[in-house]
Structure 1
Amino acid sequence: MAEDKKTFVDEINKALAKSEGLTLKDLLFSYHGTPYPVTVCSVETFQALENLEARRDDMVLVSYTKCGVNWLIQISSDFIFTTVQSKPVSAELPFIECGVPDKYQRMKQIPSPRILATHLNYDCLPKSIFKNKAKILVLFQNPKDTAVSFFHFHNNVSSVPSDSSWVEFFSEFMNGKVGWGSYFDHAVTWNKHIADENTMIIIYEDLKEDLPASVKQRAEFFGFSPTAEQIQAIAHRATFQAVKDKAEETHGAVGSILFRRGVVGDWKNLFSEAQNQEMDAKFKVCLEGTKLGAKLKYDVYCKA
């Protein structure tokens, strides 16, 4: 087990090492019109991903990048460990679109239930996920905090090229010229599938507000039946601080950056009034009046 964890951390470190010497322009490549980081993704891997054979009991965890899915992975792993009495073991990078093409052959050896995490949009997911009716849990965070978290990730990982300023990054974020593309394109597409069978969309802020209730709801969605005591224990181990305290052990040097602050409203420390107005207008055009827009509680979390 310790060797698997070490190998996983080594894979993260290898990905970070690929960033050394790259400019921001060289960090991204385009696949089917969406930018992805060359450090963890490749055309060959995307082509191989199309043949991934999902299982009905796979736990598919989706989020736009920096919306908290690494936290969700930790919680979901605990579901399995607590109720199935087995520890999810994989030395692969945690996202299905990241890594080398032959990873999918190795993934066949992972016992069920597997966790399939991804930042991909609905239209880019392997078709077998839908054919085999795997359950999909989609996590969103309010767009302002997402942008700020993404900016800090670029700035705080020394090997990853960063924008010269928040102003520059904000412009790239709003135009979808960042890894995995536009937050708003991602949200608009998933909103179309919010009522699909086997799909549940949840909000990061709701996890923060009532973690035990969220743990119970997520567990039941994936078919687990933890006791009340198990739910409380999982929630206790899954507080953001508890996960952050173990982040270096679970994710290596980048752990403390992946789990940086975990607070709601951090955007207020960076957004200018003009940026507030720009994103408010974008939200209004893309999501106002939609079911996802209502779930995001934009007026609660994104108004000064």
Structure 2
Amino acid sequence: MSTAEGQQAKTDTFMADMKKRLEEASKLTPEELKFSYKGILYPTILCSEETFQAMEKMEAREDDVLIVTYPKCGTNWSLQILHEMILEVNKKEPTMIKGMLEFGKPEKYEYLSQQPSPRVLATHIPCEDISKSFFEKKTKVLLILRNPKDTAVSYYHFTNKNPTLPTYESWDLFYKDYITGNVIYGSYFDYTIQWEKHIDDGNILVLTFEDMKEDLSRELRKISDFYGLALTDEQIKLVQEKTTFSSMKEKSSNTHGDLANVFFRKGEVGDWKNLFTEEQSKEVDAQFEKYLAGTKLGNMINYEKYCTF
């Protein structure tokens, strides 16, 4: 089986599984679509307490590629980037699981333990709940941040299009849950500030969605250097051509099937201005000031540039 055929087979299996889960989700009420674990809401159709408990015992590897993001901060984008980079260097598909590390059944971690390196993994779970093994092994972690206002708007559209998540009748109703952390995966601010204590560990690269939009080639070079991939300028250019938002959206029907329009909407910076009221904007400003102002991660978000009317 060729590389392309192998990747397509994985995609087909993922899409068949997602179709089954979507059918299950259609039979559940909004309240049944979510459950709480350690005080944070998760999607019932995709996650389970048993899987979380098994994940906590997962054995990491030094050469794992772990991508960590709050939802709608560039997860699919960064996954595709690492996929293309490793493929370009090794000339063979890296081990990649479709969806987040926390999705699926507990036995998936046994399957993962048998897969060859490098394993490209992604998760939305809070830093404190990631298997301690990743920190003990000093696995290199790629953290992608996005300003909280664009994140909120993107998340609102995402949750209303994704049948596995509770829907909202209006932006105002979603915003109310978002600002209080009552959404799937909890508070943006709690999630982000948890990583501040690891910022100087030496094995974490922090990039922002906005910087990637501004100069993708520059940010790709940072990723290549961080993971020791030593991509040439020509290889960086090839990866860039395959991972722009427009390029990925164009291919999304092949990579994400019927969910293409769920995962790829606008991919813009500043879209929050189309929905936020002045009062809501000021409320997020206050939350940013409380949690992230003056921190290293807060400074990287460049809040004043991206979050003022």
Q: Matched residues in 1 for 2:261 and 2:42: separation?
A: 23
Determine the structure 2 residue equivalent to 1:206: 211
Matching residue's letter, 2:73: C
Give the match's secondary structure for 1:111. Answer: coil
The Cα shift of 1:196 comes to 1.5
- 1:259 has 2:264 as partner: yes
Instruction: Tell me which residue corresponds to 2:3.
Output: none
Contact 1:66 1:146 in 2 (8 A): yes
> Identity of counterpart residues, as a percentage?
43
Q: Distance in 2 between matches of 1:38 and 1:122?
A: 21
- Contact 1:19 / 1:161 at 8 angstroms: preserved in 2? no
Please give the alpha-carbon distance, in whole angstroms, between the structure 1 residues aligned to 2:29 and 2:196.
34
Dislocated runs of 4+, deviation >6 Å: none
- SS of 2:25's equivalent? coil
Match of 1:245 in 2: 250
- How many residues in Structure 1 have an aligned counterpart in Structure 2? 303
Aligned-pair Cα RMSD in Å: 1.3
Match of 1:8 in 2: 14
Instruction: Determine the C-alpha separation between the residues in 1 that align with 2:250 and 2:34.
Output: 31
1:71 equivalenced with 2:72 (yes/no): no
Which residue does 1:161 correspond to in 2? 166
**Counterpart in 1 of 2:109?**
104
SS state at 1:36 partner: strand
User: Which residue identity is paired with 2:179?
Assistant: M
Distance 2:273 2:79 in 1: 27
Q: State the alpha-carbon separation in 2 of the partners of residues 197 and 160 from structure 1.
A: 36
- The structure-2 alpha-carbon separation of the partners of 1:126 and 1:177, relative to structure 1 and needing over 3 Å to count, comes to same
Structure 1, 194-203 or 142-151: larger mean CA deviation: 194-203
Which of 14, 21, 27 does residue 27 from structure 2 map onto? 21
AA aligned opposite 1:208: K
Cα displacement (A) at 1:193: 1.6
Partner residue of 1:59 out of 61, 65, 70: 65
Residues 159, 166 of structure 2: 8 Å contact kept: yes
Q: Aligned equivalents of 1:13 and 1:134: distance in 2?
A: 33
Following the alignment from structure 1 to structure 2, what is the Cα–Cα distance between the partners of residues 158 and 101?
Answer: 23
What is the CA-CA distance between 1:120 and the residue it aligns to?
1.3
| Counterpart AA for 2:33 | L
Instruction: Give the 5 Å matches for 1:1-304.
Output: 1=6, 2-90=8-96, 92-158=97-163, 160-304=165-309
Shift of residue 157, structure 1, vs aligned partner = 3.0
Alpha-carbon contact 2:162-2:262 (below 8 Å) kept = yes
Instruction: Give the residue type in structure 2 aligned to 1:298.
Output: Y
| TM value normalised by structure 1 | 0.96
The gaps in structure 2 that reach 5 residues or longer are 1-5
